Amino acid sequence: MAVFTDPPAWRPTSEDPVDDQFGHLVEGTTLDDADAFDAVLVGVPYDGAVISRQGASEGPSAIRGSLASTKTHHFDAGPVDSVGDLGDVGVPQGPTAMVQSAIADTTRDVHDVDATPVFLGGDNSTTYANASPLLDADVGADSDSLGVVSFDAHLDCRQVRGDPTSGSPYRQLHDDGLDALAVVGARHFETSTGYHDFVRDNDYEIVTAEEVGDDDVDAIDRALDALGDVDQVYVSVDIDVLDATYQGSSAPTPGGITARELFRMVRLAASDDRVAGFEVVETAPPLEESGRTVDAAARTVAHFLAGHGI
């Protein structure tokens, strides 16, 4: 049974009647009425499984706040014009495996509505709960064939030892039958040889941050090509894919990609007709006073919506 908190009231910050902002656009909704929108926002305020620094549980609220003052117009795609907000998933107290199961009970219902879900995290462990329902042939599309494009500094395919963590979602999805995975923006010296070998041995793709810097369009083309002919694509952004100048993530490290590169690649990924869901995870507002990372996360959402034709 789906459990949500009430969606927040969306308010614009501009008094100029021509300044169309997401604060004017986004409306609170329910699962019963979500079909009226092209996309629905879903907050997942959980960071109990993060390996490094906590704070991502405050991500959903902060991203919404930044998005409310963001204008809705994209120069090429035009204005975003159909977004609802379901509120936050009810997150219980307990072990991460139990939390993932409870969140998945709700996200399964979200995937069944005729609107593209946009999940606002939350740590990376929630990726498993957000995406795993798509592996069920009875959820969403008429097929359980699924590929993931993961924008991330890390591979997040750690073997689960005891309880899952923010570093294990793609191993969990793999164990459940994930068909394809492409990690974009991965950093050298941020993973172990064993996990690199796991990704390569399963014919998953890695596109490094350096390769993104060489040609970001080629980078996302490689990632989408690596998914082959899967029927559904899930797009995940761990905001730590950005360079360490963006400090408001759970694990910022040097050598990452730029916000402009991320926006362009997310927009191009979103234009794929197979996209069945999107998320931004690991945005941790308490870890950065400037709000730069929160603003980047909010604009990543905006670029996804524009690219997806919302």
On whether residue 91 sits in a domain, the answer given is yes
Size of the chain in residues: 310
Binned at pLDDT 50, 70 and 90, residue 141 comes out as low
CATH code of the domain in which 247 resides: 3.40.800.10
How many domains is the chain built from? 1
Binned at pLDDT 50, 70 and 90, residue 310 comes out as confident
Distance CA 99, CA 83 (A): 27
On whether residue 298 sits in a domain, the answer given is yes
On whether residue 297 sits in a domain, the answer given is yes
Beta-ladder partners of 73: 79
Higher pLDDT, 140 or 85: 85
pLDDT of 137: 65
User: What's the domain range around 63?
Assistant: 22-144+236-307
On whether residue 84 sits in a domain, the answer given is yes
φ and ψ of 281, to 5 deg: -125, 165
Supply angle C-alpha 183, 68, 260, rounded to 5.
Answer: 35
pLDDT in tens, 232-280: 999 999 999 999 999 999 999 999 999 999 999 999 999 999 999 999 9
On whether residue 56 sits in a domain, the answer given is yes
Distance CA 158, CA 49 (A): 13
pLDDT in tens, 181-223: 999 999 999 999 999 999 999 999 999 999 999 999 999 999 9
Cβ-based neighbour number of residue 8 at 10 Å = 18
3-state secondary structure (DSSP) of residue 4: strand
3-state secondary structure (DSSP) of residue 183: strand
On whether residue 152 sits in a domain, the answer given is no
Q: Please give the distance of CA 206 from its chain centroid, rounded to a whole number.
A: 18
Beta-ladder partners of 146: 232
Surface-to-core class of residue 203, CB atoms within 10 Å of its CB (0-12 exposed, 13-18 middle, 19+ buried): exposed
Rounded to 10 deg, the angle between the 292-307 and 59-68 helix axes is 70
φ and ψ of 77, to 5 deg: -85, -15
Distance CA 256, CA 210 (A): 8
Binned at pLDDT 50, 70 and 90, residue 40 comes out as very high
On whether residue 117 sits in a domain, the answer given is yes
On whether residue 5 sits in a domain, the answer given is no
